Amino acid sequence: MMDATAPIGFIDSGVGGLTVVREALRQLPHENVMFLGDQARLPYGPRPAAQVRSFTWQMVNYLRAQHIKALVIACNTATAAAWRDVQAQLDIPVIGVIVPGARAAVKVTTAGRIGVVATEGTVASGAYDAAIHQQNSALTVHSMAAPKFVSLVESNEYKSDLARRVVADTLAPLAAEHPDTVIMGCTHYPLLRPFIQAALGDDVTLIDPGRETVVELATVLDYLGLANRGDHDGDRSFYTTASPTMFADIASDWLGLDDLHAQHVNIEANRTTLFRMPSSMGRWTKLPSPGSHRRWSSPRRIRVRCASSLISLLPAVSRFVVWRILMICIPLTRPAPPSLKTPG
């Protein structure tokens, strides 16, 4: 059984995912947290989906080797490109930010008009539209890409007048559609929240998918009996593919942690698909991933397990068969009775 004290892994293309980590520290303070940001190759937004998927797998494989009990893809672009693939192949819960964000929008919408602001990659994937319509096909969704927002945040310009102007200009077409609810569909955007709210109007409800993702994470951990029931703050570890000093500066500021240290890691050597652990490490096969209880309990899975148990029993069965044969045959192979003996 997976250890409830094992850390939760968070991956992101840059520092945006720290907005999700901040929510995790606030909502689940007793959990141990491990964050890996791929600053060296950000932004993911404009990259082709196949490349984003490949980079995401490199991060996933790095954190799996650290024995995480659950994985949060704290990046909308990576979630859109790789969540289903990673979720299907990993034996731990894998939570993306898109479905929780979509669900929260469906919850709070009053007029059924939902807007989505995201990166080009996320908008092109149609992942938010699909997630919203899967739950309620009658809702209207307007999506738009806002590629400039990420660089405003990564360059620490997110409180500037320039940021205010860029946000207002970019969101004008969305505001004209009069959505009642807007999803900030990139983990960087909540840092621009005051400007986004001003551009869309005070009566628009803004959704921060990262915040909702942590609620879904808590739900799934509870459901699997994997919540860490400690009473002190968890450990936090931070890894980056770029400069650890620069990363630590931003992360300490965002997370309000004084003694934050970050470590540089090289993940490009990792395989770009699932790296299967040797079976002796076994822990990845012991926990059901989302949907895997269906697989565990499926008749086929049970048959496979029973067949392997039967095979392991074969030596004992063979010994039993040989013993029974001997017991039955011994009387038949005894010397012929004296009357049948050849004459002496």
Q: Enumerate binding residues for its own copies (CB under 8 A).
A: 1, 23, 27-30, 99-100, 103-104, 106-107, 134-138, 211, 214-216, 218-220, 222-225, 227, 229, 231, 286-288, 290-294, 296-298, 302-303, 305-306, 309-310, 313, 317, 321, 324-325, 328-329, 332-333, 336, 339-343
Burial class (CB in 10 A: 0-12, 13-18, 19+), 157: middle
Q: Phi and psi dihedrals of 274, rounded to 5?
A: -60, 125
Shortest distance in whole angstroms from residue 261 CB to its own copies: 24
**Catalytic residue list:** 75, 186
Residues 130, 326 contacting (CB under 8 angstroms): no
Which tokens in the block code for residue 302? 């049970």
Shortest distance in whole angstroms from residue 4 CB to its own copies: 12
* Residue whose structure tokens are 């983990």: 187
Q: What is d(CA 161, CA 167) in angstroms, rounded to the nearest whole number?
A: 10
Residues 190, 122 contacting (CB under 8 angstroms): no
* Residue whose structure tokens are 């520290």: 25
The CA-atom distances, in angstroms, between 270 and each of 60, 104, 173, 279 are 9, 35, 42, 19
Cis peptide before 43 (omega within 30 of 0): yes
How many CA atoms are closer than 13 Å to the CA of 123, on its beta-carbon side? 17
Nearer to its own copies, 269 or 336 (CB): 336
Cross-strand partners of 206: 182
Q: What is d(CA 157, CA 164) in angstroms, rounded to the nearest whole number?
A: 10
Nearer to its own copies, 224 or 251 (CB): 224
Nearer to its own copies, 113 or 164 (CB): 113
Nearer to its own copies, 218 or 242 (CB): 218
Nearer to its own copies, 99 or 267 (CB): 99
Residues 12, 28 contacting (CB under 8 angstroms): no
Shortest distance in whole angstroms from residue 88 CB to its own copies: 12
Which tokens in the block code for residue 72? 């949060």
Nearer to its own copies, 104 or 174 (CB): 104
Shortest distance in whole angstroms from residue 240 CB to its own copies: 28
Residues 239, 262 contacting (CB under 8 angstroms): yes
Shortest distance in whole angstroms from residue 70 CB to its own copies: 13
Burial class (CB in 10 A: 0-12, 13-18, 19+), 180: middle
